[in-house]
């Protein structure tokens, strides 16, 4: 069986690579998708990604990596706002219904519990028109 290896400490890997190579959960997710698309049925084992609550807690020490990992769990695409701040959207998942209408689902990652203020913030994101609704297929 083929193996994909990850490091629990991505900084160790980055110290030995050129600056223009990105080793993140986003990059790893893209490699996995491309392998699966190009070689249907290919089996590979993943090593070094969180598989337990404790490993996820350790990864939460790096909020950006935790967010990328969590977004990848649901197959969403990472979303980065152009303003630099937290836009309330960490990832987007796109789908098409049986009638051909396209939709977006927002992914918001929290490393703790949701609170009423989080629900209010989600409502504001939806009011901005950043998510949901059918879109043109063009």
The answer to the question of residue 65 being in a domain is: no
For residue 96, list its beta bridge partners: 102
What are the b/e assignments for 38-54, b being 16+ CB within 10 Å? eeeeeeeeeeebbeeee
Residue 80 is part of which domain span? Answer: 76-138
The answer to the question of residue 48 being in a domain is: no
User: In tens digits, what is the pLDDT along the chain, a chain of 138 residues?
Assistant: 555 555 444 555 555 555 544 456 767 777 888 888 888 888 877 777 788 888 888 888 888 888 888 888 888 888 876 555 567 788 888 889 999 999 888 888 887 788 898 888 888 888 877 555 444 333
72 with 46: CB under 8 angstroms? Answer: no
The answer to the question of residue 60 being in a domain is: no
29 with 70: CB under 8 angstroms? Answer: no
Burial class (CB in 10 A: 0-12, 13-18, 19+), 123: exposed
Q: Determine the pLDDT at residue 22.
A: 46
Give how many domains the chain has, as a whole number.
Answer: 1
The answer to the question of residue 19 being in a domain is: no
Count of C-beta atoms within a 10 Å radius of residue 70:
22
Give the C-alpha separation, 79 to 29, whole Å.
14
The answer to the question of residue 124 being in a domain is: yes
The answer to the question of residue 137 being in a domain is: yes
The answer to the question of residue 64 being in a domain is: no
Q: Determine the pLDDT at residue 64.
A: 81
The answer to the question of residue 135 being in a domain is: yes
pTM, to two decimals: 0.62
């Amino acid at each position: 069986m083929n193996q994909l290896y990850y490091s629990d400490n991505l900084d160790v890997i980055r110290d030995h690579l050129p600056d223009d190579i990105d080793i993140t959960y986003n990059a790893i997710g893209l490699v996995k998708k491309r392998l699966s698309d190009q070689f249907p049925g290919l089996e590979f084992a993943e090593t070094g990604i969180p598989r337990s609550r404790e490993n996820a807690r350790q990864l939460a020490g790096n909020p950006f990596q935790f967010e990328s990992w969590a977004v990848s769990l649901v197959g969403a695409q990472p979303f980065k706002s152009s303003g630099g701040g937290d836009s309330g959207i960490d990832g987007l998942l796109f789908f098409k219904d049986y009638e051909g209408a396209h939709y977006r689902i927002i992914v918001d990652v929290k490393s703790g519990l949701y609170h009423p203020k989080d629900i209010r913030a989600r409502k504001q994101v939806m009011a901005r028109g950043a998510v949901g609704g059918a879109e043109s297929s063009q």
